[in-house]
Amino acid sequence: MSNPWEEISLDDYEKHMSLDSVRQLQALDSIMQMQFSAYPVETTAVLGIAGGNGLEHLGTDKFRTVYGVDINADYLRAVSQRYTQLSGVLECLHIDLISETEKLPQAQLLIANLLIEYIGYGAFQRAVLQTAPEFVSCVIQINTDEEQWVSESPYLRAFDRLDEVHHQMEEKALTAAMKEIGYSLILQETYPLPNGKALVRLDFESKE
């Protein structure tokens, strides 16, 4: 069976994420600006890049190579068309992070925003080990409503199948999983959202 993310249109996803009642697209845009500028790196991999939200903050004077990774080939095509100014720097990679981890390239910074929820801690550990970054910066969603983790919106039906792959996230569990593979927590910030949910940014550094 296909991964649910291969069936969700980018238009539905982005319209849902940018609603005033959700505002996750806007929050992630500003967070990614900080993620791109936080560390002295030249290469980064963005896992679950979707439509490329936040890439406008990417300085081509700083980054030599940026890998955009997603399971949805349509999303990657949209990214390539939207960010032609990143030609020669941005490389889009069609990879299933659960079954094709070995295809991931190495990068100094790994960014994974609202992705770990859909692959689980174990798959994320394997992705980190394969990428071997110095720094990992990720955003997870914390929910006050256990039953309704996708915010109410006119586009809700587009996400019906996500229950099949969704994992509830918890800061301490992610920090413990990262510690198991040699990464220590160096930053934790919380960004409240309109409907009782929050985004939590957790950054890690390799201990090696």
What is the pLDDT, as a whole number, of residue 155? Answer: 53
Q: What is the pLDDT of residue 143?
A: 74
Q: Kindly report the backbone phi and psi dihedral angles of residue 161, in degrees, each rounded to the nearest multiple of 5, phi listed first.
A: -85, -5
Neighbours of 196 (CB within 10 A): 12
Residue pLDDT, tens place only, 66-104:
999 999 999 999 999 999 999 999 999 999 999 999 999
Helix (H/G/I), strand (E/B), else coil: 79: helix
Percent of the chain with pLDDT over 90: 66
What is the rounded CA–CA span in Å between residue 103 and residue 78? 21
d(CA 181, CA 168): 21
How sure is the predictor about 157, in pLDDT bands with cuts at 50, 70 and 90? low
Q: Where are the alpha helices (DSSP H) in the chain?
A: 10-18, 24-37, 73-82, 116-131, 171-180
Query: pTM of the prediction?
Result: 0.91
Task: Give residue-wise pLDDT tens across range 160-203.
Answer: 777 777 777 889 999 999 999 999 999 999 998 887 788 999 99
Given a contact cutoff of 8 angstroms between Cβ atoms, the answer to whether 46 and 111 are in contact is yes
Is residue 152 scored above 60 in pLDDT? no
- Please report how the helices 171-180 and 116-131 are oriented relative to each other, as an axis angle in degrees rounded to 10: 20
